[in-house]
């Protein structure tokens, strides 16, 4: 009886861990905290955008900004600006692709740039 309980417990724990990986959820809560701590002056909802400090830029470069955006809560958005986060990510060479959810905001998809037509200058 005890062996059966141990096997069931092991199966449950195994299922929980493999299901979590199967959902494709990436753990980036520590990264979100780090970016908020290092970049608060830049991403605060109050005031103008402030150029990021070197530690802020490094935190962004070391982080998965798509994941951070995905886990932003409405409470986070009471203190930080999603628009400023997107600008910060772009300035740190980690722009978020169009269609990405960032908190309650969806990054706009840019239309493709038109290819210039060739003109025949010979008449």
Residue at 52 is within a domain: yes
Residue 43 predicted with pLDDT over 80:
yes
Residue at 95 is within a domain: yes
Residue 75 predicted with pLDDT over 70:
yes
Q: Which of 99, 114, 25, 13 is nearest to 67 (CA)?
A: 25
Range of the domain at 33: 29-107
Q: Look up the pTM and report it.
A: 0.70
Alpha helices of the chain — where are they, by DSSP H? Answer: 2-22, 29-43, 54-61, 65-70, 82-91
Number of domains in the chain: 1
Residue at 49 is within a domain: yes
Residue 122 predicted with pLDDT over 70:
no
Here the CATH number for the domain that contains residue 48 is 1.10.110
Residue 11 predicted with pLDDT over 50:
no
Residue 31 predicted with pLDDT over 80:
yes
Residue at 57 is within a domain: yes
Whole-angstrom distance, CA of residue 39 vs CA of residue 34:
8
Average pLDDT over the chain, rounded to an integer: 83
Q: What angle do CA 52, 91, 86 make, to 5 degrees?
A: 90
- Is the pLDDT higher at 114 or at 104? 104
Q: Residue 94 half-sphere exposure, CB side, CA atoms within 13 Å?
A: 17
């Amino acid at each position: 009886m005890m062996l059966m309980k141990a096997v069931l417990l092991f199966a449950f724990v195994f299922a929980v861990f493999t299901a979590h990986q199967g959902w494709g959820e990436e753990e980036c809560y520590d990264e979100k905290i780090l970016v908020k701590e290092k970049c608060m002056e830049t991403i605060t909802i109050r005031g103008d955008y402030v150029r990021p400090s070197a530690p802020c830029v490094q935190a962004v470069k070391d982080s998965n900004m798509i994941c951070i955006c995905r886990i932003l809560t409405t409470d986070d958005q009471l203190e930080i600006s999603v628009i400023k986060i997107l600008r910060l990510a772009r300035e740190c060479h980690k722009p978020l692709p169009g269609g990405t959810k960032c908190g309650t905001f969806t990054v706009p998809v840019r239309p493709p740039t038109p290819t210039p037509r060739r003109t025949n200058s010979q008449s």
